[in-house]
């Protein structure tokens, strides 16, 4: 695996950020090999060359430990925003696992977002961290159907494996959630898909589901997405162009009805979907001063 130079690993979220209560952001790898056809991280604004090639950050663990030591206040470290922390290289190099050991040692919380069942390997460390700090495990699930998932996210674990992973973490007492996004217009924006994900998630012990009924598209990301549509969904690209032109936010034409269905189903199953409530719920029981960043 190629290594790239890095000066820092932890970035600080803005004071008013409400993204799952993260105080810091950690990307131990750069790039991702899941091959998701819709991935926003392909956008030109991120300036990631050869995005499908996973690269490690040189001396990553030494840099991370130095930064953890220097932080005056504890908080929740989110990992998985730009590259999946459980890509195939992680099986060999275990940079994420070693990072979790450091996070535990310096008594920070952690929130992990992934599409890989490899995260089951680190259940022991997440359980250990929960003894002193908040933890959260999020699985991105866009479609209930394994076959469709193999087209949309060819390098990721099967949807069924992701649900099984959530079940294992929930049974171990770890707060779990689903990122139900993106819901792609004319592809996976069906009532049956949304209902099936919610119901299966509830059976697996999931407490939170956070949806987005649409997709965002920017320079380069849009080009890649359209090439994949031509390959797997012939004719669909032209419908997207007619519907959205060059818009950044591309909402599903069914967004309103799907939102109503989502609320009805999630309320019936006691699934929490409001971001502020999710944060309050999984961080409850830990001292305010421990979590307060500013």
pLDDT per position as a tens digit, 141-193: 999 999 999 999 999 999 999 999 999 999 999 999 999 999 999 999 999 99
Portion of the chain with pLDDT greater than 70, in percent: 94
Q: Is residue 112 part of a domain?
A: yes
Distance CA 70, CA 67 (A): 5
Whether 135 contacts 110, CB under 8 Å: yes
Write the pLDDT tens digit of every residue in 203-257: 999 999 999 999 999 888 899 999 999 999 999 999 999 999 989 999 999 999 9
Total-model pTM? 0.92
pLDDT at residue 17 greater than cutoff 90: no
Whether 24 contacts 76, CB under 8 Å: yes
Whether 64 contacts 102, CB under 8 Å: yes
Confidence of residue 293 (pLDDT cuts 50, 70, 90): very low
Nearest to 10 by CA among 69, 64, 90, 57: 64
CATH number at residue 158: 3.20.20.70
Q: Residue 227: which domain range?
A: 3-271
Confidence of residue 294 (pLDDT cuts 50, 70, 90): very low
Q: Is residue 288 part of a domain?
A: no
pLDDT at residue 16 greater than cutoff 60: no
Distance CA 169, CA 191 (A): 27
Rounded (10°) CA dihedral 111, 207, 83, 118 = 90
Q: Is residue 93 part of a domain?
A: yes
Q: Is residue 84 part of a domain?
A: yes
Q: Is residue 284 part of a domain?
A: no
Q: Is residue 289 part of a domain?
A: no
Q: Is residue 202 part of a domain?
A: yes
Q: Is residue 91 part of a domain?
A: yes
Angle value at C-alpha 247, between 244 and 250, nearest 5 degrees: 60
**What is the count of structural domains for the chain?**
1
Q: Return the H-helix or E-strand segment holding 99.
A: helix 95-105
């Amino acid at each position: 695996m190629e290594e790239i130079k890095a000066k820092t690993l932890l970035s600080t979220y803005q004071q008013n950020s409400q993204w799952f209560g993260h105080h810091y952001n950690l990307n131990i790898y750069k790039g991702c090999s899941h091959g998701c056809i819709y991935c926003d991280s392909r956008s030109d604004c991120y300036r990631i060359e050869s995005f499908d090639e996973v690269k490690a950050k040189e001396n990553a663990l030494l840099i991370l430990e130095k930064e953890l030591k220097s932080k005056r206040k504890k908080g929740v470290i989110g990992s998985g925003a730009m590259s999946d922390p459980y890509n195939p290289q992680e099986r060999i190099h275990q940079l994420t696992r070693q990072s979790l050991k450091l996070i535990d040692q310096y008594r920070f919380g952690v929130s992990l977002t992934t599409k890989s069942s490899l995260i089951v390997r680190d259940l022991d460390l997440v359980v250990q961290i929960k003894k002193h700090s908040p933890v959260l495990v999020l699985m991105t699930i866009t479609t209930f159907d394994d076959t469709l998932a193999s087209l949309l996210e060819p390098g990721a674990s099967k949807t069924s494996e992701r649900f099984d992973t959530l079940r294992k973490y929930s049974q171990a007492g770890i707060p779990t959630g689903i990122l139900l996004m993106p819901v792609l217009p004319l592809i996976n924006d069906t009532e049956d898909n949304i209902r099936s994900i919610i119901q299966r998630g509830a059976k697996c012990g999931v407490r939170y589901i956070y949806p987005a009924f649409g997709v965002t598209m920017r320079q380069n990301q849009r080009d890649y997405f359209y090439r994949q549509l031509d390959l797997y969904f012939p004719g669909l690209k032209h419908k997207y162009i007619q519907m959205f032109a060059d818009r950044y936010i591309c909402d599903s034409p069914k967004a309103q009805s799907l939102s109503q269905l989502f609320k009805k189903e999630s309320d019936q199953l006691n699934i929490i979907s409001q971001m502020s409530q999710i944060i309050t719920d999984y961080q409850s029981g830990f001292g305010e001063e421990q979590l307060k960043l500013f």
